[in-house]
Structure 1
């Protein structure tokens, strides 16, 4: 979709001759993923724009030629004073929207049409129903936005020191997420599932689990949290601000999006048979009672490779590639405003 340059902030309606003012016209930015929902995203974006316009809302298309371009355009628009930034798609578009609106006055709104819509489901938003989603956005524009936590993740050097060009490090400013950072078998499964065009939703993750288990061996982790440091050979690590990933996996069932804490869920070494027995419990959120599964609640965590086991896989956040360990994740309470 061709991007339309963002304009200024919300537009006020003209004053009537009697001195009364009609209600101010709302202005939202719209970002669409045309490939969401296996190609249905473009039509969903067109319908969302039409419905918002019919509701009397001015719509500015701030989609870009690439993800980086879209984030830059959307963030510029958010800083310019939109009433909301509306993203149309799945969790990948939510990730884009988080990075565009975090720590700005502009709230994020979600029209969930992707193959995975975990963040929308956690917030109780409509899924795969554009009309209901737009109706919810229109109604929510008349209420204060909800403040939820955002998590900043950045590369660090071994020992936890941030990358610094002055020390000859490869500087990386990091990024934000609002769902779950995956750094174990869960990340490997995410990467593999992204290569599949079928089945939809969590079915892709089930298929990817079996593919990733072939030849699996444990990773070596060192986790440093507010409670101290744990070193172990393990199967998965998830740093969660939200409770759900993978189209319905309740990886951190007790995580809350607005409690100012991260739930670090990790599993120590398991056999392939043990992993297969544990996996179905992730959908029910009952895996936390398994003796190999542990949870640490913390405000920040540094994840490193311990050297005892395979190097952990490239991390994913909200289903999007972040980068290799070592990484630091830190929660910022209430840094994101959402229409929910």
Structure 2
């Protein structure tokens, strides 16, 4: 996802003004920096006109050249107090986002769902504010925030509306991760892995092709599921814990995800043959799969997933198109605020 580069510990005591003066012209553009200012409220609030921004760019996301990305960032940031940095690794991006937020800057994640996840984690940990300039091949989180192009990011900065976003907290045995859209196992993980290896395609087409390839080698696995106080075992094709409606570049896998804001939408499809699974995929592309007799969709406070299968792939947990960890894992809606700058209050 990122090119190798500077490790996070070298950025301790990071001084933004010094960095701006000593920057490499190939990795950073400096814009006018004014006074910082955030007006933090509860569910929806606004930034003021003096807010400062960091546009954090993943150079390897999507298909656009680095020059095109820089041009778009310049266009979006031209009326704001902003600097632009090019991330060199996941650790580098995480540290830059953290330091900027601790300085009171709004961090705009210029990349795909992977970079947005990294920046969101720091926004949650620091209480900072983020926004998105979508450069990736999926961009499901950006779309859920009504940000589909650079014009939407411009509007978000202009309007200054900050809204709390839902996300999934995924807890493993010795660490936790967040997922901004949908996390899960089975077909979701297999298709996400294959999508990361497919060139050229993007959006729904990319993940549809990846899912079809996965279904040609169809494997269902037996999982132990714990929903609140109920435990059961199921042979499953896929299981998803959803914070928002879409995954896979616009596939509406959880159309009802936001209908119960404080609870996790858990969906799964039980074991079935290849032909039935392909028909189910076709229905899922338009969000009409919930009526399928092999699909169950419910809301829970928490979902715990375990797998005794010897197949390592059965235990892989993916979210936002990225590898998150290995089962067992617990999923629930995150309870710490994630503040996102959006075009309007209806995101």
Asked if TM exceeds 0.5, the reply is yes
Residue 292 of structure 1, CA deviation: 0.9
Alpha carbons 2:108, 2:133 under 8 Å: kept: yes
Q: 1:226 to 1:326 in 2, by over 3 A?
A: same
* Corresponding residue number in structure 1 for 2:135: 113
* Corresponding residue number in structure 2 for 1:29: 54
- CA deviations 1:81-136 (Å, max 9, x no partner) are 11x110112222221221121143322111112211111222222x2x32x13421
* Corresponding residue number in structure 1 for 2:184: 182
- CA deviations 1:52-77 (Å, max 9, x no partner) are 1x21x222335432012211221122
Is the deviation greater in 37-46 or in 177-186?
37-46
What's the secondary structure of 2:127's corresponding residue?
A: coil
Alpha carbons 2:165, 2:339 under 8 Å: kept: yes
Residue 248 of structure 1, CA deviation: 1.4
Alpha carbons 2:166, 2:334 under 8 Å: kept: yes
Matches within 5 A, 1:77-156: 77-82=100-105, 84-125=106-147, 127=148, 129-130=149-150, 132-141=151-160, 143=161, 145-156=162-173
* Corresponding residue number in structure 1 for 2:271: 269
For residues 273 and 49 of structure 2, the distance between their equivalents in structure 1, rounded to whole angstroms, comes to 61
* Corresponding residue number in structure 1 for 2:30: none
* Corresponding residue number in structure 2 for 1:322: 324
What's the secondary structure of 1:329's corresponding residue?
A: strand
* Corresponding residue number in structure 1 for 2:45: none
Indicate which of 16, 24, 27 corresponds to 1:7: 16
What's the secondary structure of 2:16's corresponding residue?
A: coil
Residue 313 of structure 1, CA deviation: 4.2
For residues 216 and 228 of structure 2, the distance between their equivalents in structure 1, rounded to whole angstroms, comes to 35
Indicate which of 294, 297, 307 corresponds to 1:295: 297
Residue 327 of structure 1, CA deviation: 1.0
Residue 190 of structure 1, CA deviation: 0.8
For residues 96 and 66 of structure 2, the distance between their equivalents in structure 1, rounded to whole angstroms, comes to 19
Q: 1:24 to 1:287 in 2, by over 3 A?
A: closer
Q: Please, what TM-score do these two structures have when normalized by structure 1? A: 0.82
1:51 aligns with 2:76: yes
Q: Please, what TM-score do these two structures have when normalized by structure 2? A: 0.80
Residue 27 of structure 1, CA deviation: 0.7
What's the secondary structure of 2:334's corresponding residue?
A: strand
Indicate which of 262, 282, 293 corresponds to 1:260: 262
For residues 134 and 66 of structure 2, the distance between their equivalents in structure 1, rounded to whole angstroms, comes to 10
Alpha carbons 1:6, 1:77 under 8 Å: kept: no
1:248 aligns with 2:270: no
For residues 65 and 179 of structure 1, the distance between their equivalents in structure 2, rounded to whole angstroms, comes to 25
For residues 222 and 205 of structure 1, the distance between their equivalents in structure 2, rounded to whole angstroms, comes to 27
How many residue pairs get aligned? The number is 307
RMSD: 2.6
Alpha carbons 2:157, 2:341 under 8 Å: kept: no
Q: 1:43 to 1:211 in 2, by over 3 A?
A: same
